[in-house]
Chains A and B, each alone.
Chain A
Amino acid sequence: IAGITQAPTSQILAAGRRMTLRCTQDMRHNAMYWYRQDLGLGLRLIHYSNTAGTTGKGEVPDGYSVSRANTDDFPLTLASAVPSQTSVYFCASSDGTSSYEQYFGPGTRLTVT
Chain B
Amino acid sequence: SQKIEQNSEALNIQEGKTATLTCNYTNYSPAYLQWYRQDPGRGPVFLLLIRENEKEKRKERLKVTFDTTLKQSLFHITASQPADSATYLCAPSGGSYIPTFGRGTSLIVHP
Chain A residues proximal to chain B, CB less than 8 Å: 33, 35, 40-43, 45, 48, 58-59, 90, 92, 97-99, 101-107
Would you call A45 and B98 a contact (CB within 8 A)?
yes
Interface residues in B42-76 (C-beta closer than 8 Å to A) = 42-46, 49, 51
Contact A40 B43 (CB under 8 A): no
- In the complex, are the beta carbons of A104 and B49 less than 8 A apart? no
Q: Say what secondary structure dominates the interface of chain B.
A: loop
B43 touches A92 (CB 8 A): yes
For the side of the interface on B, what is the size category?
20 to 34
Q: Residue-by-residue, is B94-105 near A (CB-CB < 8 Å gives 1, otherwise 0)?
A: 111111111110
- Whole-angstrom distance between the alpha carbons of A98 and B29 in the complex? 12
- What separation, in Å, do the CA atoms of A45 and B36 have in the docked complex? 16
